[in-house]
């Protein structure tokens, strides 16, 4: 919508306030609300003043004054607000220079799209991400100087099979939640309401289902879209999932690995390049791919260890990325084989359906940064004609130790991933998509506030291992 169309949309829907949203570096949605009377056509150019000093990873206190400019193309009515509220995403700019803020993740994603178009290799990158999540009934956690614990519970959790009161059975076994019908699948109706709300807000949904794990693991698949739009959609997807569950007295987490001994939450990301409305990944090579697609895969695999800091950006991510379990840590590609980091889906022979699926990402990542970084890695592969090597069509878990040693793997911990990013990030700074200063800030924030913070604290299981040593 244009600014005027957005104003008309607000009047038609009797909007009484506007809610402007943006995203911090770790990927959490932030917002600020105004009476609808504050919104006129000039506001789309003039913006609204905000204080950025308390936003994680953003400006220092002496550079905290910023403007947020509403993007009329993102407008929708908030389905959860009691007061009729028009929501728009906003872009962050400097109030003096009027330049976009380099640490605004959405601007980084926009720069990635501009870089792609200016490269002449393609003009559009499509992304389709499958973000998994858990629906729990209760969560408790705390950490202080003398104690630390977490406790989660879910009516659907297999661990409740021995409960005495109000126990009707029908719970997915561990690793067997893919995908029985109700009543074993407890959340068919809840997911259906999530989907209905998503459609109401303009998202394009393909399907929904229970996922592999017990305890309410689910997935709702969105249709692919352009890079920035897909990231916008992922933020709205998370907002709707959390709030519909909250209305039902449930709580949702996108943590990569909240349950020990069962599958974690991934965000398998399908991606492809197009030019002049034509797909560039379709060809006559292995799995029906083009040479450009192979080079793109080569870029993803070459830079995967550096990418891991952005696409699997938490200490908890590496509880999921463990060799021999469900997550693909081995840096290889294959058609159909889900044990490879890059899979080429074979559902359709249509050239428009040809794409590559990168499987290590998880939904704890900031989608603006994750999608931009993956595209930059793939594009670096195309520019430098990086050979991805031979495909891996065997089951990785059946390979001999000698064969396994030849296959590189993802980092084993966040700190290692951050070091990989420090050592390999030139592909991200091309076209000033990611600035050196932004990457330094990202690494410093993650290392100090997450990797080191977790490493300094005793783990509950350490008491079981070592208390009597």
| Tokens standing for residue 167 | 């126990």
Contact yes or no for 124/274 (Cβ under 8 A): yes
- Backbone angles phi and psi of 279, in degrees to 5: -75, 140
* C-alpha to C-alpha distances, 113 to 106, 126, 276, 424, nearest whole angstrom: 11, 10, 15, 21
Whether residue 130 lies in the annotated active site = yes
Cis peptide before 271 (omega within 30 of 0): no
Cα diameter, the chain: 71
Q: Compute the distance between CA of residue 315 and CA of residue 450 in angstroms, rounded to an integer.
A: 7
Which is catalytic among the residues 71, 185, 219, 380?
219
Which is catalytic among the residues 24, 104, 130, 415?
130
Rg of the chain, C-alpha, whole Å? 23
Reduced to 3 states (helix: H, G, I; strand: E, B; else coil), residue 262 is coil
- Give me the long-range contacts of 182-190 (CB less than 8 A, separation at least 24): 185/210, 186/155, 186/156, 186/216, 187/135, 187/156, 187/216, 187/218, 190/135, 190/244, 190/245, 190/248, 190/250
Contact yes or no for 354/293 (Cβ under 8 A): yes
Whether residue 359 lies in the annotated active site = yes
Whether residue 113 lies in the annotated active site = no
Task: Count Cβ atoms below 10 Å from residue 33 Cβ, excluding itself.
Answer: 17
Q: Among 461, 441, 456, which Cα is nearest to 26's? A: 441
Which is catalytic among the residues 103, 158, 268, 343?
268
Whether residue 56 lies in the annotated active site = no
Residue 39 per-residue DSSP state: -
Which is catalytic among the residues 51, 63, 390, 462?
51
Q: Compute the distance between CA of residue 455 and CA of residue 461 in angstroms, rounded to an integer.
A: 14
Which is catalytic among the residues 11, 56, 98, 338?
338
Which is catalytic among the residues 186, 359, 425, 447?
359
| Tokens standing for residue 210 | 């229970």
Reduced to 3 states (helix: H, G, I; strand: E, B; else coil), residue 252 is strand
Which is catalytic among the residues 24, 78, 104, 132?
132
**How many CA atoms are closer than 13 Å to the CA of 345, on its beta-carbon side?**
18
Which is catalytic among the residues 24, 104, 357, 362?
357
Q: Compute the distance between CA of residue 64 and CA of residue 87 in angstroms, rounded to an integer.
A: 24
Whether residue 51 lies in the annotated active site = yes
Whether residue 200 lies in the annotated active site = no
Which is catalytic among the residues 78, 155, 211, 380?
211
- Backbone angles phi and psi of 23, in degrees to 5: -125, 135
Whether residue 335 lies in the annotated active site = no
DSSP string, 420-460: HHHHS-HHHHGGGSS-HHHHHHHHHHHIIIIIHHHHHSPPH
Residues with a known catalytic role = 51, 130, 132, 211, 219, 268, 338, 357, 359
């Amino acid at each position: 919508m244009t600014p005027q169309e957005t104003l008309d949309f607000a009047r038609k829907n009797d909007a009484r306030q506007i809610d402007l949203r943006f995203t911090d570096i770790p990927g959490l949605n932030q917002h600020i609300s105004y009476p609808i009377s504050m919104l006129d056509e000039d506001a789309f150019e003039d913006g609204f003043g905000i204080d950025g000093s308390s936003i994680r990873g953003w400006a220092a206190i002496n550079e905290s004054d910023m403007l947020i400019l509403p993007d009329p193309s993102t407008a929708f009515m908030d389905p959860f607000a009691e007061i009729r509220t028009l929501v728009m995403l906003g872009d962050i700019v400097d109030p003096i220079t009027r330049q976009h803020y380099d640490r605004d993740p959405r601007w980084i994603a926009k720069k990635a799209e501009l870089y792609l178009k200016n490269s002449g290799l393609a003009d559009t990158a499509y992304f389709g991400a499958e973000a998994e999540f858990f629906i729990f009934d209760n969560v408790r956690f705390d950490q202080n100087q003398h104690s630390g614990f977490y406790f989660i519970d879910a009516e659907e959790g297999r661990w409740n099979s021995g409960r005495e009161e109000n126990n009707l059975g029908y719970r997915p076994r561990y690793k067997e939640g893919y995908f029985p019908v109700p009543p074993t699948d407890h959340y068919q109706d809840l997911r259906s309401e999530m989907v209905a709300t998503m459609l109401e807000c303009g998202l394009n949904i393909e399907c929904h289902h229970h996922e592999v794990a017990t305890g309410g693991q689910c997935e709702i698949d969105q249709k692919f879209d352009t890079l920035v739009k897909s990231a916008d959609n992922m933020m709205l997807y998370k907002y709707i999932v959390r709030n519909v569950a909250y209305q039902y007295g449930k709580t949702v987490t996108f943590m990569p690995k909240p349950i020990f001994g069962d599958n974690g939450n991934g965000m398998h990301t399908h991606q492809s390049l197009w030019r002049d409305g034509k797909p560039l990944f379709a060809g006559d090579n292995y799995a029906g791919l083009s040479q450009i697609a192979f080079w793109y895969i080569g870029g993803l695999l070459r830079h995967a260890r550096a990418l891991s800091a952005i696409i699997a950006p938490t200490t908890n991510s590496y509880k999921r990325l463990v060799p021999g379990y469900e997550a693909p840590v081995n840096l290889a590609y294959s058609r159909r084989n889900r044990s490879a980091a890059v899979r080429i889906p074979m559902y359709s022979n249509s050239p428009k359906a040809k794409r590559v699926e990168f499987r290590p990402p998880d939904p704890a990542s900031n989608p603006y940064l994750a999608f931009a970084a993956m595209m930059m890695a793939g594009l670096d592969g195309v520019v430098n004609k990086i050979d991805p090597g031979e495909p891996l069509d065997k089951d990785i878990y059946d390979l001999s130790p000698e064969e396994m040693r030849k296959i590189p793997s993802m980092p084993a911990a966040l700190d290692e991933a951050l070091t990989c990013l420090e050592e390999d990030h030139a592909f991200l700074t091309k076209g000033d998509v990611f600035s050196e200063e932004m990457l330094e800030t990202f690494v410093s924030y993650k290392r100090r506030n997450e990797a080191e913070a977790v490493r300094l604290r005793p783990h509950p299981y350490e008491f079981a291992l070592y208390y009597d040593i």
